[in-house]
Amino acid sequence: MVTVREVKTKRDVKAFIDFPLKLYKNCEYFVPLMYADEKKLLITGGNTEIADSVFFLAEKDGKVAGRIQGICHRQFNELNDTKRVRFTRFDSIDDTEVSRALFSAVESWAHSLGMTEICGPLGYSDMDREGLLIEGFEENSTFEEQYNYDYYGKLIEDSGYAKEIDWLEFELRAPEKRNEMLARVAKRTLELNKLHIADTNMSKKDYIAKYGDSFFDCLDECYSKLYGTVPISPAQRKELIDQFMLIINIKYAVFICDEDEKVVAFGLCFPCIGDAIKKSGGKLTLPTLIRLMSIAKKPKTLDLGLVAVRPEYQNSGVNAVLVNGIIETLCSGDVETCETNLNLETNVAVMAQWKYFSARQHKRRRSYLKNIEKGE
């Protein structure tokens, strides 16, 4: 028999966070989230000024067998005239009785709020983990991604969900031969548009203070029309900076600025820290901190977290500057590979840039949708 309850107590919070750690204990590809961040989210209930959340645990035969979070993103619904609830943090044993019970709980919650659709996996913003892995189960995950077993897709579809859109992911390596024309176009683009690459000859703290707000403004503008995205609030900006401060290495950030130091485009890479936090279950133990600092200083793999160009510069050749900057990093000798993370399957313009690399499309993720209007 399966029972589902809403997470309310400290014991429930611990069980919710610990369940995937136990489920993936022997999985070499799984990368946990930071334990402290997850604990803070659960304790606060996940509610923000722009969204409401609920967390459910499923038990079978007296043992925790699954979990799920529902998010009613009021800001997204208002901006897009929708009545959607998102699901995320879905984990389950391979049992349709468990998964059906979890999705039923989220759907009932959504009904109580007057919502008519459920989609996901999606978080609060595009900076959260999103999409269900459906290809690439034997590929290493990055910290920004959520790994899942191959049976998850069947469990979700069994509950009445169908594909809405996919993301593709690529592994990039340095090209066999440098494209000299690309380098010349990049240089000429900066000259013609009176742009420059932000100086990294300063402390990380000063760099973020100088370019942080402009970076997020650029991000919001460029991602505003993409699937599932919403503006990042001031509180979320601060939280994201705090979360990534430890691993940010400005050496691997390409911020392109105008004469007023306004960020007009960027390619932001993070050192791949997955291997550093696997053993500790996401807890920042002293050995974990030492591994993180070592990787952040001299990574072998970079996660290409975000790429964006403001609309007025999208046909000016600025993309060449970003691509050339990543190629230079891969040709430097220290970094061996770069993971693109998620590219919407409809975003042909972004994926066309990977032709300048030795690229391998190695993962695919999916967002699902279900109409839950009563009577349908």
5 against 252, higher pLDDT: 5
What is the mean predicted confidence (pLDDT) over 354-370?
96
Mean pLDDT of all residues in 240-249: 77
pLDDT of amino acid 139: 94
State pLDDT tens for residues 172-215. Answer: 999 988 888 998 999 999 999 999 999 989 998 899 889 989 99
Q: What residue type is assigned to position 295 of the chain? A: I
- Quick one: DSSP state of residue 87? E
222: amino acid identity, one letter: C
What pLDDT does 374 receive?
66
- pLDDT of 350 above 90: no
Task: Flag whether pLDDT at 64 surpasses 50.
Answer: yes
Flag whether pLDDT at 341 surpasses 80.
yes
CA gap 204, 132 in Å, rounded: 33
Residue 168 DSSP one-character state:
E
Residue range 140-168: mean pLDDT, rounded:
96
Which DSSP letter does residue 226 get? S
Q: Which of 97-106, 240-249, 303-312 has the lowest mean pLDDT?
A: 240-249
Model pTM score: 0.90
Is 118 strand, coil or helix? strand
Higher-pLDDT residue of 329 and 63 is 63
Structural contact between residues 106 and 161, judged by C-beta atoms closer than 8 angstroms:
no
- Distance, in Å, from the CA atom of 70 to the CA atom of 7, rounded to the nearest integer, reads 12
Q: Does residue 334 sit in helix, strand or coil? A: coil
pLDDT at 228: 81
Q: CB-based burial of residue 121 (10 Å sphere; 0-12 exposed, 13-18 middle, 19+ buried)?
A: buried
Which whole number is the average pLDDT over 97-121? Answer: 97
**CA pseudo-torsion sign 12, 13, 18, 23:** positive
Percent of the chain with pLDDT over 90: 62
Q: What is the largest CA-CA distance in the chain?
A: 68
Q: 375 pLDDT exceeds 70? A: no
Is residue 27 pLDDT above 60, yes or no? Answer: yes
- Please tell me what DSSP assigns to residue 233: P
